[in-house]
Structure 1
């Protein structure tokens, strides 16, 4: 997950994104209801995804661009998207799937296997600002 850091001083057009930590190190689950809720992947659950198909960020760090290219880039990946901590922090976690049985909080909240991810993003946002921390994902 990247954080945007200023080279010297305030955030501006010269600020650059830096990869902070690989999601693989924080998230040990692959619950499809959470992936549907967050990114619209295999959304048989009827969630309104938070960040579906936004594509790969054109201002991603060099390291992240290299990693994405190693997976084959757009032709060999799907569900490529990103979301900022500001968006996640303002999410209605009580919103449910189309059947009204599963809330966002239940499938991807702080008490799920996504909790460590949210904890790191929350900490980075305290240092860099909520708009300057984002999670970038793709599926292979």
Structure 2
């Protein structure tokens, strides 16, 4: 299935009717497949989240006519869903989104300013990391998720450890390509109320 996002932001006025506000394509999140998995549980990302936030809820029954028409433009649209600004604002971006260490990722730890190791970045697990784990732990390992408790691998001066993924690692509120969307929703919520602004999205 395709992994391009489409949709719109809607607001609900005092008469209870939802109205189209802005098309999602103008806000530019682009094809961010790992973020799509975290938020909506769809797309060909590499996160493997067990708990996407707003997965496949369908179209709201009271969706505005322009958004309903746009969501049925062709035969390839799928994974329709929605989320109010109140729900987005309540997301704990630092909560685990998987039930254990990531299979395809490792935490990349480097020395901080005080000399202590700090989590610097996520690293894609390469054959070299797996081979270093085999040497360190005396086995045949395919993933950091299989390393013994407390296990870590040092390769080219970098320390790699198993990592439990969080949404902030892929789609934080200040991630550049999502800022315009979240800002638009926040600004509209300041006018209409948090429960009266929502994102309606689908994929194709």
| Unaligned 5+ runs, structure 1 | 8-14
How far apart in 1 are the matches of 2:197 and 2:59? 15
Moved segments of 4+, more than 6 Å = none
Does the 8 A contact of 1:110 with 1:116 survive in 2?
no
Q: CA-to-partner distance for each residue in 1:55-112, whole Å, 9 max, x for gaps?
A: 011101111112122234xxx3211100111011111011244224543123112222
How far apart in 2 are the matches of 1:23 and 1:6? 24
Larger radius of gyration: 2
Write out aligned runs for 1:1-140 (5 A): 1-7=9-15, 15-42=16-43, 44-47=46-49, 48-72=51-75, 76-98=76-98, 99=102, 100-112=163-175, 113-140=177-204
CA RMSD of aligned residues (A): 1.6
SS at match of 2:80: strand
How far apart in 2 are the matches of 1:4 and 1:71? 27
Going by fraction, where is helix more abundant, 1 or 2? 1
SS at match of 2:173: coil
SS at match of 2:22: coil
| Unaligned 5+ runs, structure 2 | 1-8, 103-162
TM-score scaled by length of structure 1: 0.84
SS at match of 2:72: helix
- More deviation in 92-101 or 113-122? 92-101
1:44 shift after superposition: 4.2
Going by fraction, where is strand more abundant, 1 or 2? 2
How far apart in 2 are the matches of 1:79 and 1:34? 15
1:28 shift after superposition: 4.1
